[in-house]
Chains A and B, each alone.
Chain A
C-alpha cells in the first residue's frame, strides 16, 4: 500500500500532530489536507520530551498532551482516516510504543489501517525486534537518514526501511525554513546513488520553491510538517478560515510536486 504513492507521482506527505489543536480538529485538518491533494499523512503522536522537534511541534505536542491524547487515541484516529484510501504513517518517539509493547502496538496499528511507522529515537542497530514485529504485522518501517549519516549506515537504513527512506534535510530539529543549505542537495545526491528505495525529504521543507529544488535534486517525495502546524497556530478569526488557509497551503505545495519534472535518475 505504501510504495504505491511513489509509483508515477512525487508524493506530498503531510505531517499533522494528532490532538492539535484538539483531537476532533486534527481529524478535520487531516481530511482537508487530503482534499487539498496530500498523497499521504504522517500522524504525529504527542510526547512529553520530543528531542528531535523544534518549538512549533513541541508546542503542538504540549497542547495535545494537555488533552490526554494517547497513542491509543491516535491509532483510533488513524482508523477513522483509513477510509480515505491514502497511506497513514505514525510518527512516534519510542517510549509510548514500548509502554504499549511492540506486539500490541503493531497489531493495533495494522488493524487501524496504518501503512508504516517512523520512530525518530530508534536507531537501526537497535531496531531488529521492532522491524521483525512490524513486518509480521504487515506494517512498514521507515528509518531516518541525515546528512551526518555515513554511506554504510545509509545502506543499512535502506535495507530496514519499507516504502521509503526518510531523509532529514539538515543538521537540526524540525521547523520552518525559508531555504535549505547547499549540503542538503549534496546529501540527496549521495543518498540517491546508494539507496534503491524511494526517498522522501523532510525537516524544513516549507515552500513550493524548496519542494521543486528537492525534487530536482533527486528525492521522490517531500514531507511538510512544521509549516502546516504553523498554519494551524495562526490567529485567524475562525476555525473555518484556519482550515481554508491550510487547504491553500497544501494545494500550493502539491502543485509544486506535480509540476516538477522528474530528473533522469528520478524516474
Chain B
C-alpha cells in the first residue's frame, strides 16, 4: 500500500470512507491545513484551553504512591483536572472552533465512556453549536452519570442498540448521520481514529499534553522522563502524550490496552496485542476480527477502551517498534483505581487506571532514579458505580 503519502502512517490509515463523505473529508483537510498555521485560530483555541478548560494541567510527583510501590518515581500528568474531567476537551474545543470556521452549525459525536460526549456538549454550548451524541445503550447504562451531564449541557443523546451496543456501534451510527447531514454538520470524532484527516487532527489537538509534559519535566525535575505510559483504546490521550517524545529515542513510550478478562479468554479490547490488520471506520489498522473479516465484539471494564480497532498511528508505532504495547486486565485496572484513590486521594478514570496499573508494575522492578510519567487521562467519578458492581457491592 501507499507509503509516505498524505493521510498514511506507513501502511496504516488512509481514507476508506463512503463516497458521500469524500468531498467533506477533503474540505476538512483543506480547512485544517489553513488553521494549523493561522495565529488567530491558535490564539482563540489557547484562550479557551487556558481560561475555560484549565490548561496547563499539573505534572504531579506521586511520592506516596511511588514510596508504596518502592521503585521508580511515578509522575502523573493531571488531565483529570481539566474541565469536564478528561483530556477530551482539548480536542473537542479545537474541532468545535474548526467546525465554526467551516460554517457548520451542528456537531455530532460518538462516545464510549461518555467523556467525549460531555466534552463535545460543553464545547458546543460555549461556542453556540448544536450537539447530538451517539452512545451505545450498554454504555449509557454503565455511564449513566455522563448521559445526564450531556443532556444537562443541552446535547441530544441518541442510544444505539446495534451490535455490541458500545463505542464501535456508536461510531457507525454517527457516520450514518454524517452521510445524511454532511452539508451542515461536522462530525467531531473523539479519538485518533476514522478516515484521514481525523487521526492527524485529533492527535495534533491532543499533543498539548506531551508538550506540557516535556516543558514541565525539564523545569521541575530536569532532563527527560525515562518512560511515558498512557492507555490506548482509540488512542487519543496516548497519541497526544507521545507526540512530542517520538523523536526522543531515549524516552520509552508504552501504550496500555485493555486485556479485559485476559487475552486468552477472548474477552478483551486489545487489537494491538491479539488482532490483525484490516479496514474499518475508514482506516487500515489493527482490528479484532474473525476469519471472515467480521469485526468481533470486545470487552473491557472501561467503556472508553472497549473498542475493536485502534488509531492507525498506533498500528504504525507497533510496526516500527517505537512504542511498546502491553495489556492490563480488568482486575489489575480496578486494583490500580483503588490504590491511587487511597495512596494519593485521586480517583482515576478506569481507562487511565490501565496505564497506572502497568506503571505500578513497571516501577516496582526499576531503580528509584528512574522516572515514569503516567497520563491520567480522566477522573473516575463516573466509574464508581462500575467499580462497585465489579467488586460485587452496591453504592
- Seen from chain A, the residues whose Cβ lies within 8 Å of a Cβ on chain B are 47-52, 54, 58, 62, 65, 68, 70-72, 94-100, 120-123, 125-126, 129, 143-150, 153, 157, 168, 170-173
B284 to chain A, nearest CB (A): 9
Which chain B residue shows the least CB distance to A96? Answer: B293
Interface size of B by CB at 8 A reads: 37
- Report yes or no: A172 in contact with B180, Cβ–Cβ below 8 A: yes
A210 to chain B, nearest CB (A): 18
Give the complex CA separation of A121 and B281 in angstroms.
Answer: 9
Give the complex CA separation of A52 and B19 in angstroms.
Answer: 10
- Report yes or no: B15 in contact with A123, Cβ–Cβ below 8 A: yes
| Pairs of residues from A and B, 9 with the lowest C-beta to C-beta distance, nearest first | A99-B293, A96-B293, A172-B180, A70-B292, A95-B293, A146-B20, A48-B295, A48-B294, A51-B175
Give the complex CA separation of A49 and B179 in angstroms.
Answer: 15
Q: Which of B14, B16, B183, B278 lies at the interface centre, i.e. has the most chain A CB atoms within 10 A of its CB?
A: B16
Contacts A48-B294, A51-B176 known; list 20 others, CB within 8 Å. Answer: A47-B294, A49-B280, A49-B295, A95-B278, A95-B280, A95-B293, A97-B293, A120-B18, A121-B17, A121-B18, A123-B19, A123-B22, A126-B2, A146-B19, A148-B24, A149-B23, A157-B19, A168-B19, A171-B180, A173-B180
- Report yes or no: B19 in contact with A148, Cβ–Cβ below 8 A: yes
Chain B residue contacts of A157, Cβ below 8 A: 19
Known A70-B292, A121-B17: A98·B278 in contact at CB below 8 Å: yes
Q: Does B289 contact A (CB under 8 A)?
A: yes
Partner of A172, one of B15, B179, B289, B291: B179
Contact code string B173-201 (vs A, CB < 8 Å = 1, else 0): 00110011111000000000000000000
Partner of B17, one of A54, A62, A123: A123
Partner of A95, one of B21, B163, B169, B289: B289
Chain B residue contacts of A70, Cβ below 8 A: 292
Q: Does B243 contact A (CB under 8 A)?
A: no
Which chain A residue shows the least CB distance to B14? Answer: A126
A200 to chain B, nearest CB (A): 14
How many A-B residue pairs have C-beta atoms within 8 angstroms? Tell me.
110
Known A51-B175, A171-B180, A172-B179: A148·B23 in contact at CB below 8 Å: yes
Q: Does B46 contact A (CB under 8 A)?
A: no
- Report yes or no: A98 in contact with B293, Cβ–Cβ below 8 A: yes
Chain B residue contacts of A94, Cβ below 8 A: 16, 279
Chain A residue contacts of B282, Cβ below 8 A: 121
Chain A residue contacts of B176, Cβ below 8 A: 51-52, 54, 173
- Report 11 cross-chain contacts, Cβ distance below 8 Å, ordered by A residue: A47-B293, A47-B294, A68-B292, A71-B292, A71-B293, A95-B287, A95-B289, A99-B293, A148-B19, A148-B23, A172-B179
Chain B residue contacts of A146, Cβ below 8 A: 19-20
A15 to chain B, nearest CB (A): 16
Q: Does B299 contact A (CB under 8 A)?
A: no
A59 to chain B, nearest CB (A): 9
- Report yes or no: B163 in contact with A49, Cβ–Cβ below 8 A: yes
Chain B residue contacts of A98, Cβ below 8 A: 278-279, 293
Contact code string B291-303 (vs A, CB < 8 Å = 1, else 0): 1111100000000
- Report yes or no: A168 in contact with B278, Cβ–Cβ below 8 A: no
Chain A residue contacts of B162, Cβ below 8 A: 58, 62
- Report yes or no: B294 in contact with A149, Cβ–Cβ below 8 A: no
A145 to chain B, nearest CB (A): 6
Q: Does B172 contact A (CB under 8 A)?
A: yes
Give the complex CA separation of A50 and B287 in angstroms.
Answer: 16
Q: Does B168 contact A (CB under 8 A)?
A: yes
- Report yes or no: B293 in contact with A100, Cβ–Cβ below 8 A: yes
A127 to chain B, nearest CB (A): 10
